[in-house]
């Protein structure tokens, strides 16, 4: 007896339909967040708590990631540039790679994995225990109460964290350049200051504002849509991490292309 084979087109179509529906609902959540962000009162206490949460969860691992990234880049680029007799440009190449791409992207990946999953877990727990329903029953808006403070904290906190990561990554590269290549720190920093301008820094940091919006909306959406008890919270957390990473890398490509077109 022949077993029914799954229709690949049906599976693909249903997957795309679900993804489109989720994307639409996240967009609606984003519009609601934008509306409530400008409505008083502003939850300053909750915003400060979320900024502290962002810092305690992500600063150390983000800076360590950037530090070792800068070190590895110096080692790798020095080998490649030496083949073309351009080893002296290693400081500029490493600094540009960090401030334009790797610093903001890797920091956002760390935050998406640590803080994004935390947001989904916290709101998911509130959803399955009906705390979000209780907030609505008391006359408060869940988006205003739960999403807006996290959005504001992430929107301003992630760029600052990425900026710190840029500095640490460049310093890490400087240390390895001194020990491995004999390039003095003063020369390394001088080359970086001459080779990297404010536009390069802005180019990278501007992306983090978009990454921040995506991380918070994805985490809040999956958390507030969690069902099925603790298992549902776990699924929401996993989905948040996966889709945050997909969003960051996809958005990075399109933002990079846009910034290149703008710069002419």
78-125: per-residue pLDDT in tens?
888 878 777 788 999 999 999 999 999 999 999 999 999 999 999 999
> The domain containing residue 57 runs over which residues?
43-263
Asked whether residue 11 is domain-assigned, the answer is no
Asked whether residue 27 is domain-assigned, the answer is no
Asked whether residue 232 is domain-assigned, the answer is yes
**Average pLDDT of the residues in 152-173:** 95
Q: Which residues contact 237 (CB under 8 A, 6 or more apart)?
A: 117, 120, 121, 124, 222
- Distance (Å, whole) CA 142 – CA 117: 19
**Average pLDDT of the residues in 35-44:** 87
Cα–Cα distance list, 241 to 108, 171, 194, 213 (Å): 11, 29, 38, 14
Residue 20 pLDDT greater than 90, yes or no: no
Q: Over pLDDT 90: what percentage of the chain?
A: 67
Asked whether residue 28 is domain-assigned, the answer is no
Asked whether residue 25 is domain-assigned, the answer is no
Asked whether residue 17 is domain-assigned, the answer is no
248's enclosing H/E stretch is helix 229-263
pLDDT confidence of residue 1: 45
Q: Over pLDDT 70: what percentage of the chain?
A: 97
Q: Report, in angstroms and rounded to the nearest whole number, the Rg of the chain calculated over CA atoms.
A: 22
199-257: per-residue pLDDT in tens?
999 999 999 999 999 999 999 999 999 888 888 899 999 999 999 999 999 999 999 99
Number of domains making up the chain: 1
């Amino acid at each position: 007896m022949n077993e029914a084979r799954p229709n690949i087109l049906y599976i693909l179509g249903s997957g795309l339909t679900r993804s489109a529906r989720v994307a639409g609902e996240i967009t609606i959540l984003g519009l609601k967040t934008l509306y409530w962000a400008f409505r008083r009162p502003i939850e300053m206490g909750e915003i400060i708590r979320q900024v502290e949460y962002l810092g305690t969860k992500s600063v150390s691992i983000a800076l360590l990631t950037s530090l070792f990234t800068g070190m590895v880049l110096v080692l790798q680029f020095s080998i490649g540039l030496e083949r073309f007799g351009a080893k002296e440009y290693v400081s500029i190449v490493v600094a540009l790679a960090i401030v334009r791409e790797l610093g903001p992207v890797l920091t956002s990946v760390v935050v998406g994995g640590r803080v994004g999953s935390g947001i989904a877990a916290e709101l998911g727990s509130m959803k399955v225990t009906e705390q979000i329903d209780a907030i609505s029953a008391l006359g408060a808006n869940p988006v205003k109460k739960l999403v807006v403070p996290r959005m504001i904290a992430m929107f301003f906190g992630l760029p600052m964290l990425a900026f710190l990561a840029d500095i640490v990554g460049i310093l890490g590269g400087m240390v390895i350049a001194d020990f491995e290549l004999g390039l003095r720190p003063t020369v390394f920093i001088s080359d970086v200051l001459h080779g990297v301008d404010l536009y390069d820094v802005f180019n990278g940091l501007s992306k983090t504002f978009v990454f921040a919006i995506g991380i918070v909306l994805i985490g809040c959406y999956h958390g507030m849509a969690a069902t099925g008890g603790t298992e549902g919270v776990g699924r929401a957390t996993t989905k948040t991490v996966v889709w945050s990473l997909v969003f960051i890398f996809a958005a990075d490509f399109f933002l990079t292309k846009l910034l290149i077109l703008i710069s002419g």
